[in-house]
Amino acid sequence: MKVVLSLGGSVLSNESEKIREFAKTIESVAQQNQVFVVVGGGKLAREYIKRARELGASETFCDYIGIAATRLNAMLLISAIPSAAKKVPVDFMEAEELSKLYRVVVMGGTFPGHTTDATAALLAEFIKADVFINATNVDGVYSADPKSDTSAVKYDRLSPQQLVEIVSRSSAKAGTNVVIDLLAAKIIERSKIKTYVILGTPENIMKAVKGEAVGTVIA
What does the per-residue mask of binding to ligand U5P show for 24-53, with x meaning CB under 6 A? ----------------xx---x--------
SS3 assignment, position 177? coil
Closest to ligand U5P by CB, 103 or 184: 184
Q: Strand locations in 71-208, DSSP E?
A: 104-107, 131-136, 141-142, 154-155, 157-158, 195-199
Give the number of other CB atoms < 10 A from CB of residue 103. 18
Q: According to the binding rule CB under 6 A, does residue 134 interact with ligand U5P?
A: no
Helix, strand, coil share of the chain (percent; to 5): 45, 15, 35
- Rounded CA-CA distance 142/136 in Å is 13
Q: Is 116 annotated as a binding residue?
A: yes
Closest to ligand U5P by CB, 116 or 204: 116
Which residue is at the shortest CB distance from ligand U5P? 66
Q: According to the binding rule CB under 6 A, does residue 114 interact with ligand U5P?
A: yes
- Rounded CA-CA distance 213/206 in Å is 11
Among 3, 4, 7, 9, binds ligand U5P (CB under 6 A): 9
Among 29, 63, 105, 182, binds ligand U5P (CB under 6 A): 63
CB 70 within 8 A of CB 77: no
Q: Is 175 annotated as a binding residue?
A: no
Q: Is 150 annotated as a binding residue?
A: no
- Dihedral sign for Cα atoms in the order 57, 63, 67, 73: positive
Among 25, 34, 99, 110, binds ligand U5P (CB under 6 A): 110
Q: Which residues fall in the annotated binding site for UMP?
A: 41, 63, 110-116
Return residues touching ligand U5P (CB under 6 A): 9, 40-41, 45, 63, 66-67, 70, 109-116, 119
